[in-house]
Structure 1
Amino acid sequence: MTMKIALLGTGFGQAHSAVHAPRTDVDEAVVFGRTPEKPAQTRDAFGFATTTDLDTLTTDGSVDLVDICLPTRLHADVAIRALHANKDVVVELPRTASTTRHASWPPTSVPAGRRSWTCSPGSTPPTGDSARRCTTDVTVP
């Protein structure tokens, strides 16, 4: 089984791109960046499609997994938006910018069956079968 990944962020997202690019369980990846120049670098290096439209990418029905490597202050809101769009989510540490918000993770309003993983620097973002076998931070029944 293969999957489509939305990779959000072009800074630390470069490390995640290097992990996703050679995987046989990823058939397509689209990289989001706030300006066209940064995603173009990832496109040139890894052959991924690019976009500057975060809302469309996180709600795209063909995306299976959203990998979030954005500035920390955006992690929680974007993760919740993607979970509500029926996506599984990988969030680069830290998940939230505040300890109060971090303590309330996972959000109670997440749709049933959605999964969220936290990826620490240097670890491999889960995808495909490895994502399906991964111990999750949250799986809502």
Structure 2
Amino acid sequence: MIKRLFIVIFLMPVIACTSQVTRHNVVLFENSCAEELTVEAENRSNFDLSPYQTPLAPRKQAVVASYMAYTESVTDQVQSDYKLRVFFGRGKVLSLGRDELIERLSGMKPVVKGNSHIWIFSDSSLCSE
């Protein structure tokens, strides 16, 4: 009897806490321009802290934020020192910090694939053409 009581009182909370679903919240930037862009992101993840820079061909997507979390909301995970820069042709640059990214994502419904929640946004206002 005492053994069963021990299991219920002490082990059940431990088992319940370890069985939480981990989600992968991802933000993608899609190149909607007809030209190649360059994407740079800083502090874009809670598991990969390396700076990120990549060329982005037309109609392709780049991961600009990626977080492992127990919640479905990516806006809760974006770090205060987050920075995204997208370099367009003719020296034009789109620069977003944490607040600007959250504003872009607000109201958007993520694409759900298993435990991944994916937000996709683009900006064609600075395209050369």
Q: Work out whether the TM-score is over 0.5.
A: no
Bigger Rg, structure 1 or 2: 2
In proportion to residue count, which structure has more strand? 2
Looking at both structures, which has the greater relative contact order when contacts are Cα pairs under 8 Å and sequence separation is at least 6? 2
In proportion to residue count, which structure has more helix? 1
